[in-house]
């Protein structure tokens, strides 16, 4: 993690999670991270609706030149990165695993560079799944960003156990016995 804003937000998230895998969304207090709020967003973890924004900070909306509420997060990315970012968001949500990514975007002023931090919230019964993140710019003076592109990414604190393949996680729960050939 290179950007100081992401380091500060991650430290706050880490403090709130304590010994758990992730904090509850209700544990976050806006006053504690006031100076970061313009760069913070919350996504609904709804793959069918393409991970829409629930809330987006004012600086993010200004950079993109529009309000992002209910718009798809992966749709901000160019076609070559859209599937990768959707998979990263799914892994953050399903595996409760923080991620960090390097991003570039095109603007009238040239290419802009960002660091994206994605942080999961705890899964709770009868509460819609959501996650938070922070998009930190490395330089200023850009506007009307478009065609975001992933340049690098990694998961923070990967679990020691092997991750279950996404294809298996997507299978619906069934009653009775199911046999999956070829899996260990």
pLDDT tens figures, 67-101: 999 999 999 999 999 999 999 999 998 888 999 99
Q: What backbone phi and psi angles, to 5 degrees, belong to 135?
A: -105, 105
Does residue 175 surpass a pLDDT of 80?
no
Does residue 183 surpass a pLDDT of 80?
no
Does residue 171 surpass a pLDDT of 70?
no
Domain count within the chain: 1
Please report, to the nearest 10 degrees, the dihedral formed by the alpha carbons of residues 153, 159, 162, 166 taken in order.
-50
Residue 175 lies in a domain: no
**Domain containing residue 85:** 4-170
Q: Which domain CATH number covers 8?
A: 3.30.450.20
Residue pLDDT, tens place only, 48-68: 788 999 999 999 999 999 999
Closest CA to 69 of 87, 49, 86, 84: 49
Residue 14 lies in a domain: yes
Does residue 147 surpass a pLDDT of 70?
yes
Does residue 135 surpass a pLDDT of 50?
yes
Residue 26 lies in a domain: yes
The pLDDT of residue 141 is 84
The pLDDT of residue 111 is 93
Pairing of strands 110-120, 99-107: antiparallel
Residue 8 lies in a domain: yes
Residue 184 lies in a domain: no
Residue 181 lies in a domain: no
Residue 183 lies in a domain: no
Count other Cβ atoms within 10 Å, centred on residue 162.
7
CA distances from 165 to 82, 138, 178 (A): 19, 34, 17
CA distances from 157 to 27, 48, 97, 115, 134 (A): 21, 28, 7, 18, 18
Residue pLDDT, tens place only, 97-115: 999 999 999 988 889 999 9
Residue 29 lies in a domain: yes
Does residue 174 surpass a pLDDT of 50?
no
């Amino acid at each position: 993690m290179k950007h100081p804003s992401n380091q500060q937000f991650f430290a706050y998230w880490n403090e709130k999670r304590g010994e758990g895998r992730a904090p509850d969304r209700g544990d976050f207090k806006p006053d504690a991270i006031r100076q970061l709020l313009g760069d913070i967003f919350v996504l609904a973890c709804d793959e069918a609706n393409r991970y829409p924004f629930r809330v987006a900070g004012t600086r993010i909306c200004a950079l993109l030149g529009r309000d992002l509420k209910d718009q798809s997060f992966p749709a901000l990315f160019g076609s070559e990165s859209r599937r990768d970012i959707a998979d990263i968001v799914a892994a953050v949500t399903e595996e409760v695993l923080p991620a960090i990514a390097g991003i570039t975007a095109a603007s009238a002023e040239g290419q802009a560079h960002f660091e994206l931090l994605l942080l999961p919230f705890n899964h709770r019964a009868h509460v819609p799944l959501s996650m938070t993140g922070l998009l930190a710019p490395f330089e200023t003076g850009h506007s009307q960003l478009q065609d975001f592109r992933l340049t690098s990414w990694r998961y923070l604190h990967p679990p020691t156990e092997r991750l279950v393949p996404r294809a298996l996680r997507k299978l619906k729960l069934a009653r009775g016995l199911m046999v999956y050939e070829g899996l260990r």
